[in-house]
Structure 1
């Protein structure tokens, strides 16, 4: 194992500690939530790239589910290149960037502030350009992340969003208790995860493509695992809603193109089960993960997670098998998972 691969493995294991660290800042998060609750924006705009955009998917669900706000993941190109106003007065604009230095996210948030929106930066870069240019800052506090593939900054961002959304809904203590329980569950899960993913990686070492499906809040997980498999294992991995599988993509499935299905223990489960059935009928190997993974009877491989006490925190746990699998699959393919080609680290320490 290379030194870079060892660093990535260590950062995957550090994630529960990052979540617990956020609990030490509940008061600051509650203060930010109080200011945003007083604003009660008619529209919330979120802008981000890559892993941060996947965290934005999660935020869009939680802010709607817990606070009832209308949320859109916005276009940065419209204001930056086409002269369209970035926001309207009274709206809330949220820029998400792990480093806080992503140029167009920084520029978009500045344009939104100039247009009269209240701005929130969600970042691991506490002294970053994004943080300095925002009215409010939600700090991830993951410390230095040295691996190119983001792991602890991703789930740290999810945890920070969950605490903020819980506070906005007057459910801060409940969400904090759920996060503590999730951290405990994650530590137990991580103990055996390397052994669980190793045979799956060996079985699928020759694959070059994969589809990933989910619905609801686990769409963030599907997108994040797809990105990890792309950047670490060089797979052509594509995530989509489970209901989109029938609209063309199922035609591409066969024995060499697996389906990874993330099954939540909620009303979205039947759609994921149907996608898994269709993939199985097409001859594709099915990998099942998520808290309801055992309910996908067609799965050739099951990477289950414990069902969290707070269901809205499920994506923090559901992504862990994907991170571990990406690490193991890269090794099985003879790729150094800690040093993917053509990429450089952007995320800054905080």
Structure 2
């Protein structure tokens, strides 16, 4: 194992500590929440790329489920290239960037602020360009992420969003306690994760394509795991809603194109189970993951995660962990250095 791959695995294992540190800094989250609560925006716009955009998917569900706000993942191209307004007065514009230096996210948030929106930066770069131009900053506080593939900044962003949404819903202490319990569950899961993913990686080492499906809040997980498999293992990995798979993509499934299904124990489960049924009928191997993995019949491999009884909306923090660990293990099985993906650099800059 290279030193870079060892760093990636270390950062995967260090994620629960980031969540606990966010809970310990709850006063900062409460301050931001108080300001946004007073605003009570008619619309929340989110702009982000890549891993941060997947955190934005999570935010659309959390802010709607816990506070009732209408949230959209907005187009940066419309204002930056086509002259449309970035936002309107009274709205909340949220820029998510781990580095805080993604050029078009910075430009979009700055323009939204000029046009009268209240602006919020969610970033690990507290002194970054994004943080400097925002009205409010929600700092992830994950420390320096040395690996190119983002892991702790992704789940740190999810944790920060969950704490913010909890405060906005008047449930701040309950969400904080649930996040600590989730961190404890993650520690236990991580202890056995390498042993769990190793045989799956060995069995699938020859694959070069994969579909990932979920519904609802776990769509963030499907998209994030697909990105990790793409950047670390060079797979053609595609994430989609479980119901979207029937509209064409199912035709590409066969014995060489597995399906990774992420199942939650809620009303979305039947849709995911149906996608699994269709994948099996097409002869595709199925990897069942998520807190309801055991409910998916006929999976070739199972990578379940614990249920979070105190707050099911936190389950994506756990569901992504097998995907991160599997990407790391699959890269090794393919002879790829997981810590040094080709053609990539760590921080998006304005250079």
Same structural fold, with TM-score higher than 0.5 when normalized by the shorter chain: yes
Instruction: Give the whole-Å Cα distance in 2 for the aligned partners of 1:207 and 1:28.
Output: 45
1:175-216 CA-to-partner distances (Å, cap 9, x unmatched) read 001100000000000000000000000000000000000000
Matching residue of 1:302: 302
Instruction: Give the whole-Å Cα distance in 2 for the aligned partners of 1:160 and 1:56.
Output: 12
1:60-102 CA-to-partner distances (Å, cap 9, x unmatched) read 0000000000000000001101111100000000000000000
* Higher alpha-carbon deviation: 69-78 or 339-348: 339-348
SS of structure 2 residue aligned to 1:146: coil
1:132-168 CA-to-partner distances (Å, cap 9, x unmatched) read 0000000000000010000000000000000000000
Matching residue of 2:93: 93
* Preserved CA contact (<8 Å) 1:98 1:347: no
Matching residue of 1:332: 333
* Preserved CA contact (<8 Å) 1:145 1:347: no
Instruction: Report the CA distance between 1:347 and its aligned residue.
Output: 6.8
Matching residue of 1:343: 344
TM-score by length of 2: 0.98
* Preserved CA contact (<8 Å) 2:102 2:348: no
Matching residue of 2:241: 241
- Give the unaligned 5+ runs of structure 2: none
- Give the unaligned 5+ runs of structure 1: none
**1:252-263 maps to which residues of 2 (within 5 A)?**
252-263=252-263
Moved over 6 A (4+): none
1:199-248 CA-to-partner distances (Å, cap 9, x unmatched) read 00000000000000000010000000000000000000000000001000
Instruction: Give the whole-Å Cα distance in 2 for the aligned partners of 1:148 and 1:300.
Output: 31
Matching residue of 2:65: 65
| Residues paired across the two proteins, number | 348
TM-score by length of 1: 0.99
Matching residue of 1:165: 165
* Higher alpha-carbon deviation: 160-169 or 24-33: 24-33
Matching residue of 2:28: 28
Instruction: Give the whole-Å Cα distance in 2 for the aligned partners of 1:131 and 1:91.
Output: 18
* Preserved CA contact (<8 Å) 1:41 1:69: yes
SS of structure 2 residue aligned to 1:239: strand
